[in-house]
Amino acid sequence: MAGLGGERRLRLEFQAPVTNGVQVALELLSSVPPGPVVALALPRPLDAAPAAGASYIGYRVQGWQAEPGQFNRITGIQQDEFNQLWELAEPEDREVRADRAYSFRRTREGDPSLQLQLRAPRN
């Protein structure tokens, strides 16, 4: 991890060049309470050619109601479709289920983005 604030970067080093894709699972916890809008920064590989096929992101939020706000260059998919892909890649994580899921492609036109609107849960 390098950098400060919104400019922090996670650097992953692999033993050999990645040619067939890679799956990275991140569990992120904020050190400060979230505001009403949270931006999910989708990881962007440095110095890598865009993937030939679609990429996927799924999320689940605990303790809040989360609805998608603004989004660019992503497409909603059925959460079951994402969860099946996840189970194939991570069979031991069958209990981990996404609440919402999206597909996206990295292009030269810009990075995909997703903002969530957060509300306290209803009692």
26 in any annotated domain:
no
pLDDT tens per residue, range 22-40: 777 777 677 777 788 888 8
107 in any annotated domain:
yes
Cβ-in-10-Å burial (0-12, 13-18, 19+) of 83 comes to: middle
14 in any annotated domain:
no
Cβ-in-10-Å burial (0-12, 13-18, 19+) of 102 comes to: buried
Number of domains the chain is built from? 1
76 in any annotated domain:
yes
User: In whole angstroms, what is the distance from residue 94 CA to residue 87 CA?
Assistant: 6
How many CB atoms sit inside 10 A of residue 86's CB?
21
33 in any annotated domain:
no
63 in any annotated domain:
yes
- Look up the domain containing 122 and give its range: 40-45+54-123
pLDDT tens per residue, range 79-116: 999 988 888 877 777 677 888 999 998 877 778 889 99
Enter the pTM of the model: 0.71
